[in-house]
Amino acid sequence: MDEKAREHISPGEASQRPDPEAKVVNITGYRFLDLSDRDELRPWFREQCEALALKGLILLSHEGINYFVAGTQTATDAFHALLESDAPPLKGRFKGIYCKVSYSREPPFKRMLVKLKKEIISLGIPSVKPAERTGLRLEPTELKQWLDEGKPCVLLDTRNDYEIRLGAFEQAVDMKLESFGEFPAAVAKLPSEYKQLPVVTYCTGGVRCEKATTVMQDAGFGEVYQLEGGILGYFEACGETKHWRGDCFVFDDRVALDQKLRETSAKMCFACREPVTLSDQASPKYVQGVSCPRCADKGTNSRSYHRPGGNTAANSNDDPGGKEASSAATAKEAASAEDATSNENGRKGEDPASELPDASATARLSKKAKSSSH
Task: Tell me what pLDDT residue 343 has.
Answer: 35
Which residues is 256 bridged to in the sheet?
249
pLDDT along the chain (374 residues), means of 10: 41 53 91 96 98 97 96 96 94 92 90 96 94 96 97 97 95 96 97 97 96 97 96 94 96 91 91 90 92 83 33 32 28 36 36 38 31 36
Q: Residue 281, Cβ neighbours under 10 Å: how many?
A: 15
Closest CA to 353 of 61, 136, 72: 61
Task: Tell me what pLDDT residue 22 has.
Answer: 85
Calculate the CA 74 to chain-centre distance.
24
Spatial separation of the C-alpha atoms in residues 203 and 350, rounded to whole Å: 8
Any alpha helices (H) in 1-95, and if so which ranges? 38-51, 73-83
Task: Tell me what pLDDT residue 374 has.
Answer: 35
Q: Which residues of 219-249 are buried (b: 16+ CB within 10 A; e: fewer)?
A: eebebbbbbbbbbbbbbbebeebebbebbbb
* pTM score of the predicted model: 0.78
Helix (H, G, I), strand (E, B) or coil at 133: coil
Pick the catalytic residue: 49, 153, 203, 238? 203
160 in Cβ contact with 180 (< 8 Å): yes
- The Cα-based distances of 111 to 57, 77, 80, 223 in angstroms read 8, 19, 19, 42
Spatial separation of the C-alpha atoms in residues 238 and 241, rounded to whole Å: 7
Which residues is 116 bridged to in the sheet?
60
Amino acid residing at 192: S
CA angle, 319 as apex, 188 and 238 as ends, to 5°? 75
339 in Cβ contact with 366 (< 8 Å): no
Domains of the chain: 1-374 (3.40.250.10)
Active site residue 203: yes
Q: How many CA atoms lie within 13 A of 326 on its CB side?
A: 1
